[in-house]
Structure formats: structure tokens, C-alpha cells
Amino acid sequence: MFYFDAHCDTIGIVEPAKIRNSKGQSMLDFCRLAQLPGVAILAIYPNIHEKKPWQAPATAMRMATKMHEALAMNTNLVDCYLWREDWLMEPRKKKAGIMISLEGGEALGHSIARLEDFFALGVRSIGLTWNYANDLAGGAQEEAPLTQFGCTVVKRAEQLGMAVDLAHICRQAFFQVLEMAQRPPLVSHAACYTLYAHPRNLTDQQIKAIGERNGMIGIAFYPPFLTKDGADINDIVRHIDHVVSLIGHEHVGIGSDFDGIDTLPAGVKGVQDLPKIRDALFKLGYSADQVAAIMGNNFRHYWKEILPCCGMKKESTYYKE
């Protein structure tokens, strides 16, 4: 079975030289991902906990450099997925796949040119916000509308072939983006508000809106998103099942948030445990095709639609055949 994880923060905590095999230090590494086999999106995250957005562009570029170093050190183990054509082939056995995202529009420094710079560096999705409001939109903990610059970023991202990730955005701006967007939306890592009322979770209205636009939702593993206390694998599956009950199995997948969270549900220690989610879905009565879709094939189909056709691969400093 093919596995896909729509959001991991590993590059922020593991040095490039150690990301090949960092079991015990991180929740994901290239060796464990390759064993599945699977593809994961690694986020460039310009840490804005202290609300210092002027530092974000430089921080994001440093993280992009780390990402390139990690990929260059592991070309025999990792393929970087940049183009639609990369998804037309079956993932190679015993080889991991990596995509790159940008989490937080602060990294743009109010410059649309920086968005194009990050695209050139391999970024294929952008989260407009983290939890706070910025010059694009409001975040999950700080409500504000989509700004004119936010509109410009959404339009240009879609033109480039980047997904617009609404995982951390406030509800007002969420619906404003959906109203103007032309491409299927993405929520890379969240859970269901009806099952547990956390401000980062999606209401049924939001979930239905994603389904109506042929978008994708990745269910996060963070216990405070899943239940009041004592989260386990069954809680992850419960949130997946709720999305399926609203919009079908075709629009939901995994968005663990590995290495961006400080605790995991019981029974999950890292990416090597994704097959446990598969098994729990089988026990719930899902068919083999449905389970394969949820664990990876839904996102495979999504990226085939979103990504641009092949660009200048040979000029890339980190993509190697």
C-alpha cells in the first residue's frame, strides 16, 4: 500500500545529516518513510510564536537551505516530487518521496516575488497563516479577513501550480479564499470540530465546502485536536470516519503533523505506525480500495491535478534522477 502524509515539521528539528535515520530523535525520517513506502510533505515553518514577522523570510530561507542539503545527501533514498509527471509514475520501492510546503505567509515579507522564489526552491503548497493574523489573513487564534495581498498570493499561487493550504486560517478568511479560488483547496492537517471543539478544527460546514470543491483534508494526530484526553488510534479513525460521513472517502487522508506536535495518540510513535491506521480502517469495515484511497491514493490524485507540468528539472540544484 502507498502512504501519504500531508504535513510534517521534521526539517525544523532534525539536522540534514541526521534526517536519513533519526529514529529516537524525530517522528519521521527518510529510512522509515521509504520502508512503507510513502511520500510526506515537509514544511518550511518560519516560527512566529513570538509574533516577529520581520524575521520570517530569513528563517524560511534558512530552512529551505536545510531541506536542500538533506535531499542532496540522500538522493539514493529520496525522490523530490515537483511536477505532475512525478505523480504519473508509481513510487519507487524502498525509496521515500518528499514534497515541500511553506507554513505561514509571513515568510513572503509582503513580496509576491518571494512566492515565486519559494516555488523555484521546490515549494508546492503555501499555508497563508499560522495561528495569528498576518498581512494575508487571520489565523485560527486571531480573526481577520483576507487582505488584498492575501488575494494576490492566492491567485499567483494557483497560477504557479501551488496548493493553497487553509489548515491554520480563521473561518472568515477560509470562506473568502474558497469564494475566489479556482483550484481544489487543501487543509493539510486538522480534525473535526463536531467531534471535538478545538479552534483549529473544521466545522461540518467547512468540511462540506472542501468536498464540494473537490479538495482534500488531512487528519492530524495531535491529541488536543482529537478528544478531551486519552487519544488513541481509534480517535484518529473516528475523525476520518466523520469526514467520510459528510463528503465521502475521496476527500480525506493523513496529515499527521509529525514533529510539529509534542505528544501523540497512544499506539503511534512515528511514521512507521501509519499501517496501524490502515488496519483500524479495515476493522471498521472500509473496503481495500477505500483504505488505499484514504492512506495515500486520494492525495496522489489531488497532486496530479494541482501540480504544474514538468519544468526545468535539469537546472534544479536538488532534484536528481
Q: Tell me the pLDDT tens digit for each residue of 305-320.
A: 999 998 644 333 322 2
The set of cell numbers assigned to 98 is 518528499
pLDDT of residue 130: 92
182 confidence band (pLDDT: 50, 70, 90): very high
pLDDT of residue 53: 66
Q: What percentage of the chain has pLDDT greater than the value 90?
A: 88
Angle at 86 between CA 303 and CA 306, to 5 degrees: 20
pLDDT of residue 89: 72
Find the mean pLDDT for residues 21-28. Answer: 94
The radius of gyration of the chain from alpha carbons, rounded to an integer in Å, stands at 18
Is the confidence at residue 54, as pLDDT, over 80? no
201 confidence band (pLDDT: 50, 70, 90): very high
**Would you put residue 214 in left (φ > 0), alpha (ψ -120 to 50) or beta?**
left
Distance CA 171, CA 97 (A): 32
Is the confidence at residue 103, as pLDDT, over 90? yes
**Would you put residue 161 in left (φ > 0), alpha (ψ -120 to 50) or beta?**
left
Q: Which has the closest alpha carbon to 33: 119, 97, 90, 79?
A: 97
The answer to the question of residue 71 being in a domain is yes
Residue ranges of E strands in 128-193 = 163-165, 186-190
CATH of the domain at 112: 3.20.20.140
Q: Which has the closest alpha carbon to 58: 49, 69, 48?
A: 48
102: which strand partners?
Answer: 44, 126
The answer to the question of residue 27 being in a domain is yes
The set of cell numbers assigned to 86 is 512525478
Find the mean pLDDT for residues 91-117. Answer: 91
Angle at 33 between CA 165 and CA 103, to 5 degrees: 20
Lowest mean pLDDT among 87-96, 110-119, 128-137, 254-263: 87-96
Is the confidence at residue 136, as pLDDT, over 90? yes
Task: Report the predicted TM-score, pTM, of the whole model to 2 decimal places.
Answer: 0.94
Domain containing 31 equals 3-315
pLDDT of residue 317: 32
Is the confidence at residue 230, as pLDDT, over 60? yes
Phi, psi of 125 (to 5 degrees): -150, 150
What CA–CA distances, in Å, run from 74 to 18, 31, 105? Answer: 10, 10, 29
pLDDT of residue 196: 98
Mean pLDDT rounded to a whole number for the chain: 92
The answer to the question of residue 320 being in a domain is no
Find the mean pLDDT for residues 54-67. Answer: 90
Phi, psi of 180 (to 5 degrees): -100, -20
The answer to the question of residue 201 being in a domain is yes
Contacts of 245 (CB under 8 A, 6+ apart): none
Is the confidence at residue 93, as pLDDT, over 80? no
The answer to the question of residue 149 being in a domain is yes
42: which strand partners?
Answer: 8, 100
The answer to the question of residue 45 being in a domain is yes
Lowest mean pLDDT among 84-88, 123-127, 148-152, 233-237: 84-88
How many domains are there within the chain?
Answer: 1
